[in-house]
Amino acid sequence: MNVFSAIAVLAIGGPVTVWAGSSGCLCTYGESCWPSASTFSQLQSQVSQLLIYPLPSASACYPLSHPSGNCTAVQANWLDGNWRASIPGSMEAPNFETFTFQNGTIDACYRNTSITGTCDQGSVPVIGVDARSAEDIQAAVNFAVQHNLKLVVKNTG
């Protein structure tokens, strides 16, 4: 059995956060505190696998004019837990992939492409670590703590 484990640094929100700092505010993607590409390259040098850049599950159905992937598979497997577990950017349930801002607007990538016509990142992490060892996990957690980032653990098995 091939067990896939990923620790992903979240861009926006997340069901699980880890932080030992005192400020109480965590840095999210798009803020000035977000680490630069060169800073993420330092993390890359500390882990055994390439960093991953997860996309929402339904992203294969976008753009509408020329879908980037197999939208038929997305439609057929949308609620299949095994299929969802095999995709780094997929959450256990589709509603966990959306993000609702305080003003009530929603950031998401819907399976039904007619809802908005666009695919947004939602609560899907923008970058992650495909952790294969304790050292990979330590590097990812230490990086998140050092840079005050939200952290989500996704695993199977």
Q: What is the pLDDT of residues 55-97, one digit of tens each?
A: 999 999 999 888 888 999 999 999 999 999 888 889 888 888 9
Partners of residue 27 on adjacent β-strands: 149
| pTM for the predicted model, two decimal places | 0.76
Rg (CA), the chain: 16
Using CA atoms, how far residue 23 sits from 19, 27, 47, 64, in Å, is 10, 11, 28, 42
Q: How many structural domains compose the chain?
A: 1
pLDDT-derived band at 157 (thresholds 50, 70, 90) equals low
Domain carrying residue 75: 5-155
Q: What is the Cα 3 distance to its own chain's centre? A: 18
- pLDDT at res. 25: 84
Q: What is the pLDDT of residues 19-65, one digit of tens each?
A: 444 456 899 888 999 999 999 999 999 999 999 999 999 999 999 88
CB atoms within 10 A of CB 89: 25
State yes or no: pLDDT of 13 exceeds 50.
Answer: no
Q: What is the Cα 33 distance to its own chain's centre? A: 18
